[in-house]
Chains A and B, each alone.
Chain A
Amino acid sequence: MIDIENKVLSVVREAVLAQYPHASVYGEYVEVPDSFPCVTVVEDTNYTYVYSKDEQVDEHHADVQYAVNVYSNLKTGAKLEARAILKIADDAMQGMKFWRTMTRQVPNVDRTIYRVIARYHAIVGEPKQVGDDLVYQIYQR
């Protein structure tokens, strides 16, 4: 299985924390974050890209979709803060060649918190060993 979730989370986390050092960034859904603003970057789906399977039914590419949730609890300016953080996350995702399939404000269980979500899509190739690192190629359609 081609698994890039940790790498994607690392890139987005680094970008967000560079400008919002007190933010909490998670790779899973949480009920109560340690701090605000809060960002979750979660791989929603990961399935084999069937068109590049070979005769041995080996997986050479995976079709992946990610959801980025941004939450802000500012008394004023929550929307501005959430959108600013989403832009940072979006730049990081698009920098990795993901494409955004949607962005929208969605209701949150605690209505004192502003929430915006974006979804991303990419085709990822199998990794190649470069030095000590595994390098993945991400393809745009």
Chain B
Amino acid sequence: MTIDQYREQFSKNWEEFIRDFIETGAEIANRNFSHSQYDGDAVAEVTTEVRPDGGRIIATGDGVSFIEFGAGIEAGTTGQTPVEAPYEIKPWSWSETMGTGYGAKHGYWFHNGKKYYSQTPTGAMQDTSIELQQTIRQIAGRHF
């Protein structure tokens, strides 16, 4: 094999490695989102971008931030007075068809008529990056 042939082959292998790496990551991310505790709807869509110099795994959807980072906290009765809520806080009988609000004592909230559950973070994308770091040698071994 000449140097030029080697360079050409290496370039092809590199592109295949990047594509495999990103697609493997997307599979892991899809699995992680499907295992996350949420409201059961399809809340995350995972897409990929593959470029010659790298790629991206992108998760989009209404629930992505809450799955990844958790729902956060609520204002209690102590401490500084919270700002006025920009929406009306409804009791337990809140209708799912209504707009934005939250049932603070019942572990869920609504946004644009959709119901979301309060939750701790599950780090679906963070776990994806960790698993990719641990499997990168295996993936590379398939192409080099």
Give the B-binding residues of A (Cβ under 8 A).
Answer: 22, 24, 29-36, 38, 44-45, 47, 50, 63, 65, 67, 69, 71, 73-75, 78, 106-113, 115, 117, 119
A110-B72 contact in complex given A67-B121, A73-B82, A75-B81, C-beta closer than 8 Å: yes
Residue of B82, B100, B102, B118 ringed by the most chain A CB atoms within 10 A: B82
Give which listed residue, A33, A50, A65, A117, contacts B79 with CB less than 8 A: A33
Q: Judging by beta carbons under 8 Å apart, are B123 and A110 in contact?
A: no
Give which listed residue, B79, B85, B134, contacts A112 with CB less than 8 A: B85
In the complex, chain B residues whose CB is within 8 Å of the CB of A38: 73
Q: Judging by beta carbons under 8 Å apart, are A35 and B123 in contact?
A: no
Give which listed residue, A33, A67, A109, A119, contacts B102 with CB less than 8 A: A109
Q: Judging by beta carbons under 8 Å apart, are A110 and B102 in contact?
A: yes
Closest B residue, CB atoms, query A119: B126
Chief secondary structure at chain A's binding surface = loop
Give the A-binding residues of B (Cβ under 8 A).
Answer: 65-66, 69-76, 78-87, 100, 102, 104, 109, 116, 118, 120-121, 123, 126-127, 130, 134
Q: Judging by beta carbons under 8 Å apart, are A45 and B72 in contact?
A: no
Q: Judging by beta carbons under 8 Å apart, are A74 and B121 in contact?
A: no
Counting residue pairs across A and B whose Cβ atoms lie within 8 Å, the total is: 102
Can you list 28 A-B pairs, Cβ within 8 angstroms, ordered by A?
Answer: A22-B79, A32-B75, A36-B75, A36-B80, A44-B123, A45-B127, A47-B130, A65-B126, A65-B130, A69-B69, A73-B82, A73-B83, A74-B83, A75-B82, A106-B65, A107-B66, A108-B72, A109-B71, A109-B74, A110-B73, A110-B75, A110-B104, A111-B100, A112-B82, A112-B84, A112-B86, A113-B75, A115-B73
